Structure 1
């Protein structure tokens, strides 16, 4: 429905030739009287390169100054460049405007009055008339707004210029204020953005960067004069928090499960449509800032769609944005969905972050992995073929991708199973965690895998935590497990409880790349209290599993106690 509505609005402006770099989207402001709900009477329209230095409530207050019943319908700041004066270069012919014209980076639209005067028909007639001689717009919607105002000057309410201080090289913006403290809105409306020429540009740049560094959690507090509307979910969470015992040694762990995180889905542009043959597989993983360097390598090893959840602070999200924009590899990949989960609390909510990535995969199957593993070259195509061969549509299988590791930061990645086996024999590679946690992957049966040519089934064993390919509607990760320990184990255990067949793939592999230990694993190793709480959470998980799956789940509790 949303896509259909967007296409409908695009069709209303797509007939207008436009030379502006914003393309058709630069004209969409003209359609707001129809695009927005009919009962919405006023709206403030802002360009994305706007920085506020004051409370936007002040700007809303200006609507009260619009005079007459229908006379003033648009609030704008005068243009601070000479563009509409037509004297920037020889034969420069701008669209008609009233004096210097108006800049549309900040617009107050009185929608109710605009609808009453027939705005849709008026701007269309204006555009059609001027395009007969101008042939195309140069500044998109701004040209049409100005031509309309030239014919209907009484309809505009001119805003003080400090509501849209335009920072391009050839403007009169410095005449807008005597002190920088007078500024309300800063508009970086130059292609050069932060590199414009202005005597106060360093102040503006610092203000902008300070804004980027803000912790968005500051905006979640209740504001004076803005009573919160309690919704059922917040009431439920508050009641659950009140039930927690603050004297419980594991209080911090239990509270973490009830923490609500801000989430920004599709932080960067995402364009991908799953293959229609029903075999498509998305690589699903999560990461924090200290694993960011793995992204380019993963994109080189996996050409299919990827769903990544990134656990970051507001400032780190901006660093990631700059990193992604500077990377040729990441810039050229539009089939990677980046979902930012903003930091909150003292633990890494690893399973919550995994669930965000899992729920936002848009293919029938998912490859559940970690970002510090590189899949073998060609794994994406191999998995799609295997999904068909093993009839994953009609069977409940969890396909195990055998995991290996290297202790070398520079590795000549194996190009085939034969080459990997050779590197195993030479000691360049090892089976994953064989020296510190063999139980985690021993059931994969690496000895059998060496000579296997067909998929083979393995049985669940205590603490088994393989990386698997499953249907997207598989169980979610249990969010009580935070930080380090048992987060993947609990998920595989529930897959087994739901009778997924654990099937090892004979010609698939992945390699773990070395990195410094995480902060959470350091806490696990050094804190008895941490380890004790993890054991408590395990017991509670088993009890919940027994209630959920009945007597069939008792084997997990027995296995845990004898492990």
Structure 2
């Protein structure tokens, strides 16, 4: 009888412990849910307050561009290292994009260990989405917060502060958690592509110029947001500068970085040796080869790939500019700006390269440097109005070249 009572007592104690454990687990789950909700609410409140502050600052600081069509907010968010680094003899990446391409910054900051200046184009109705995306990227990615300076450009229309107050619900519908922010930005249905903005002209050259004016370094590297430089390009280039004796006669030089296209979901080469192996196996190809082979042909890819292997970075050879070469290059930050008349697709980069040629610049190709475009450029990968825009800018380019004759009367060069 005593044994049965002892067993009953033990069973009762076990049952009580099980009940207490269940209650404990329920309480933990409840507390965790409350903590998550509180954190989400705190994040939402912090984001909302940031948006209000940014909008107030933008309305007081944003300026009209020279055409009077766009509002420009320079240094919307500066990099944390912008004022602490000695950037005088450094090189800064200059780039631009619409909001749904900002996710590329996460990978770009992993490959480029220096400063980046990016202009972001948005619309009046979606400027609060740009605010939220930039805020979240800076909160979630230390290298973006540390190294990237943001500038905002949008069409000139007045936006009342109350509009931002009323947009909070729209932002809360987006999953801007650190785990999902890149996916969310990638899938924003704000714009189909950079050049397809529901009738709003995409001012690529204005964006490039705005990003350039946010640079303090002696050198700049203007690339597209979906391109990646090879690993250590910045440090290799800085070493190249230190080891080179550059006379005043050679100061008007731009350093061409050969550009390639990498297929989607392919392993990304980080060194020239890896790149050449994939090149030989048709894993990568010269940039724009399907759309405009002549646009990159003067880079002379065959000579570049057959260079003798060596360590470090140097000039492999120089090439005379010929139409329609539009190389990517590292240059001094005081080279001619981009002509802001060019919008949408066509002749926006080549017009500036053309001016470099007429102004007397020399094009020197670097031996162990390269950049990769993520994905092949194909004829079917463009928006429907691309050919119409290209034709319009072609006529504009003719007038631009005529104007260079007046701007550089002593130059014998033509393009």
Does the TM-score normalized on the shorter chain lie above 0.5? yes
Residues 81-100 of structure 1 show CA distances to partners (whole Å, capped at 9, x for unaligned) of: xxxxxxxxxxxxxxxxxxxx
Residues 389, 485 of structure 1: alpha-carbon distance in 2 compared, 3 angstrom cutoff = farther
Match for residue 399 of structure 2? 540
1:449, 1:516 → 2: CA distance? 21
Residues 393, 479 of structure 1: alpha-carbon distance in 2 compared, 3 angstrom cutoff = farther
Aligned pairs for 1:316-465 (under 5 A) are 316-330=129-143, 333-344=145-156, 346-392=200-246, 394=248, 395-408=251-264, 410-453=265-308, 454-465=315-326
Aligned pairs for 1:16-55 (under 5 A) are none
Is the CA contact 2:220–2:331 (under 8 Å) kept in the aligned structure 1? yes
Report the more deviating stretch, 258-267 or 347-356.
258-267
Question: Structure 1: any 5+ residue segments left out of the alignment?
Answer: 1-191, 197-203, 221-232, 238-256, 557-563
Is the CA contact 1:399–1:469 (under 8 Å) kept in the aligned structure 2? yes
How high is the TM-score relative to the length of structure 1? 0.51
Residues 360, 322 of structure 1: alpha-carbon distance in 2 compared, 3 angstrom cutoff = closer
Is the CA contact 2:317–2:366 (under 8 Å) kept in the aligned structure 1? yes
Residues 409-443 of structure 1 show CA distances to partners (whole Å, capped at 9, x for unaligned) of: x2322122111111001111001111111111111
Match for residue 265 of structure 1? 75
The alpha carbon displacement at 1:370 in A equals: 1.2
SS at match of 1:456: strand
The alpha carbon displacement at 1:287 in A equals: 1.3
1:508, 1:405 → 2: CA distance? 14
Question: Is residue 474 of structure 1 aligned with residue 335 of structure 2?
Answer: yes
The alpha carbon displacement at 1:455 in A equals: 2.2
Residues 540, 377 of structure 1: alpha-carbon distance in 2 compared, 3 angstrom cutoff = same
The alpha carbon displacement at 1:388 in A equals: 3.1
SS at match of 1:552: coil
Residues 407, 194 of structure 1: alpha-carbon distance in 2 compared, 3 angstrom cutoff = closer
The alpha carbon displacement at 1:533 in A equals: 2.1
Is the CA contact 2:74–2:214 (under 8 Å) kept in the aligned structure 1? no
Is the CA contact 1:274–1:280 (under 8 Å) kept in the aligned structure 2? no
Question: Structure 2: any 5+ residue segments left out of the alignment?
Answer: 1-37, 157-198, 309-314
1:280, 1:459 → 2: CA distance? 27
Match for residue 82 of structure 1? none
Question: Is residue 497 of structure 1 aligned with residue 352 of structure 2?
Answer: no
2:39, 2:379 → 1: CA distance? 37
Residues 268, 397 of structure 1: alpha-carbon distance in 2 compared, 3 angstrom cutoff = closer
1:362, 1:469 → 2: CA distance? 15
SS at match of 1:334: helix
Residues 326, 518 of structure 1: alpha-carbon distance in 2 compared, 3 angstrom cutoff = farther
Report the more deviating stretch, 342-351 or 541-550.
342-351
1:334, 1:277 → 2: CA distance? 14
1:507, 1:281 → 2: CA distance? 17
Is the CA contact 2:87–2:216 (under 8 Å) kept in the aligned structure 1? no
Match for residue 300 of structure 1? 110
Is the CA contact 1:355–1:476 (under 8 Å) kept in the aligned structure 2? yes
Residues 274, 493 of structure 1: alpha-carbon distance in 2 compared, 3 angstrom cutoff = farther
Is the CA contact 2:94–2:118 (under 8 Å) kept in the aligned structure 1? yes
Residues 274, 430 of structure 1: alpha-carbon distance in 2 compared, 3 angstrom cutoff = farther
1:215, 1:266 → 2: CA distance? 10
Residues 173-200 of structure 1 show CA distances to partners (whole Å, capped at 9, x for unaligned) of: xxxxxxxxxxxxxxxxxxx69838xxxx
Residues 120-174 of structure 1 show CA distances to partners (whole Å, capped at 9, x for unaligned) of: xxxxxxxxxxxxxxxxxxxxxxxxxxxxxxxxxxxxxxxxxxxxxxxxxxxxxxx
Is the CA contact 2:233–2:369 (under 8 Å) kept in the aligned structure 1? yes
The alpha carbon displacement at 1:540 in A equals: 1.2
Equivalent residues, number: 321
The alpha carbon displacement at 1:277 in A equals: 8.7
Aligned pairs for 1:78-89 (under 5 A) are none
Residues 396, 364 of structure 1: alpha-carbon distance in 2 compared, 3 angstrom cutoff = same
Aligned pairs for 1:246-265 (under 5 A) are 257-265=67-75
Is the CA contact 1:324–1:330 (under 8 Å) kept in the aligned structure 2? no
Question: Is residue 195 of structure 1 aligned with residue 25 of structure 2?
Answer: no
The alpha carbon displacement at 1:520 in A equals: 11
Match for residue 30 of structure 2? none
1:498, 1:307 → 2: CA distance? 26
Is the CA contact 2:205–2:338 (under 8 Å) kept in the aligned structure 1? yes
The alpha carbon displacement at 1:359 in A equals: 1.2
1:494, 1:442 → 2: CA distance? 19
Match for residue 513 of structure 1? 374
Residues 263, 553 of structure 1: alpha-carbon distance in 2 compared, 3 angstrom cutoff = farther
Residues 466, 324 of structure 1: alpha-carbon distance in 2 compared, 3 angstrom cutoff = same
1:311, 1:515 → 2: CA distance? 24
Match for residue 13 of structure 2? none
Residues 429, 520 of structure 1: alpha-carbon distance in 2 compared, 3 angstrom cutoff = closer
1:464, 1:513 → 2: CA distance? 21
Residues 215, 533 of structure 1: alpha-carbon distance in 2 compared, 3 angstrom cutoff = farther
How high is the TM-score relative to the length of structure 2? 0.68
Is the CA contact 1:266–1:338 (under 8 Å) kept in the aligned structure 2? yes
